[in-house]
Amino acid sequence: MNITKTKLEGVLVFEPIVLSDNRGWFMESYSKKVLSEYGFLIDFEQYNHSYSKKAGTLRGLHFQKLPKAQTKLVRCTKGEILDITVDIRIGSPTYKQWVGIKLSEKNKKQVFIPKGFAHGFITLVDNTEVQYKVDEAYYGRYDRSIRFDDSEFNISWGRDNPILSEKDKNAPSLSDCGANFTYEQR
Q: How much is the pLDDT for 134?
A: 97
Percent of the chain at pLDDT > 90 equals 86
- Place 155 in a pLDDT band, splitting at 50, 70 and 90: very high
Task: Kindly state the average pLDDT of the residues 13-26.
Answer: 93
What is the DSSP annotation of 146-173?
A: --TT-TTT----S-SS-B--HHHHTPPP
Give pLDDT tens digits for 53-83: 999 999 999 999 999 999 999 999 999 999 9
Q: How much is the pLDDT for 185?
A: 53
Task: Kindly state the average pLDDT of the residues 39-62.
Answer: 95
172: Cα within 13 Å, side-chain hemisphere: 9
Of the candidates 50, 59, 100, which has an alpha carbon nearest to the alpha carbon of residue 79?
50
**Any catalytic annotation for residue 47?**
no
pLDDT over 90 at 36, yes or no: no
Listed in sequence order, the residues at least 6 apart from 89 whose beta carbon sits closer than 8 Å to its beta carbon are 95, 116, 117, 181, 182, 183, 185, 186
- Euclidean distance between the first and final Cα of the chain, in Å? 24
Catalytic residue among 30, 47, 51, 132: 132
More confident residue, 131 or 27: 131
Domains of the chain (ranges, CATH numbers): 2-18+29-185 (2.60.120.10)
Residue 135 DSSP class: S
pLDDT over 60 at 186, yes or no: no
Cα Rg of the chain, angstroms: 16
**Any catalytic annotation for residue 142?**
no
Catalytic residue among 30, 38, 49, 62: 62
Task: Kindly state the average pLDDT of the residues 93-121.
Answer: 97
pLDDT over 60 at 21, yes or no: yes
Q: How much is the pLDDT for 101?
A: 98
Q: How much is the pLDDT for 71?
A: 96
Three-class SS of residue 137? coil
Q: Mean pLDDT, the chain, as a whole number? A: 95
